[in-house]
Amino acid sequence: MEDQELTKEEIILLRKFKRNLFDTFWDNAPTFYGHVLPHPSLEIGKRGLVGDEEKSGIVLAFGATACKEISSFEDYLYVELQFGYTWEKLILPWDCIFRFYDKSQHIISQMKVVFEPLNFSNTGSGISAKQIKSNKVKEKNTDSNVIQVDFGAKKK
């Protein structure tokens, strides 16, 4: 069966689903993983994708000790993750997230990936990727789109 193109409405629904799934994992799993595939709008700080990651993507660990800043927007997730001893600023379009799973791999969800680049000026978030990268905007006002992180009290 040939892969069919998604409509704009289906892409928006898929992004919303991935965002809600991320929120569910964040609220209920002390540590979980996201497999992110290469994408034109994917940004992984200065590190970028290295070696085989340029073809197969990268698995990122999410949890209280691995995440610093984190903000959820309609089209993407902004997060600062630690790679070794270095903190990197990431822009993860929901479109490039392939799967989420918990540490024990009892809960695994695999989803379709959309490879079209994002136009950050039309995301509805009111900020641009350039502003995020320059760290001028760290979180989005008081909307419910922002995930508040309490590093001292992560659920176990």
What are 122-145's pLDDT values in tens digits?
Answer: 444 444 444 554 443 444 344 445
Give the CATH number for residue 19: 2.30.30.220
Question: 148: burial class by Cβ within 10 Å (0-12, 13-18, 19+)?
Answer: exposed
SS3 20: helix
What are 53-67's pLDDT values in tens digits?
Answer: 999 999 999 988 889
With contact defined as beta carbons under 8 Å apart, do 59 and 34 qualify?
A: yes
Q: How far is CA 49 from the centre of its chain?
A: 15
- For 24, the domain range is 8-133
Q: What's the confidence (pLDDT) of residue 132?
A: 52
Residue 3 lies in a domain: no
What are 87-117's pLDDT values in tens digits?
Answer: 999 999 999 999 999 988 888 888 889 888 8
Q: Based on the structure, what is the number of domains in the chain? A: 1
Residue 150 lies in a domain: no
State how far the Cα of 16 lies from the Cα of 94, in Å rounded to an integer: 8
Q: pTM score > 0.95 for this model?
A: no
Q: In what order do the strands lie in the sheet with 31-36?
A: 58-63, 31-36, 97-102, 108-110
Q: What's the confidence (pLDDT) of residue 131?
A: 53
What are 31-55's pLDDT values in tens digits?
Answer: 999 999 999 999 999 999 999 999 9
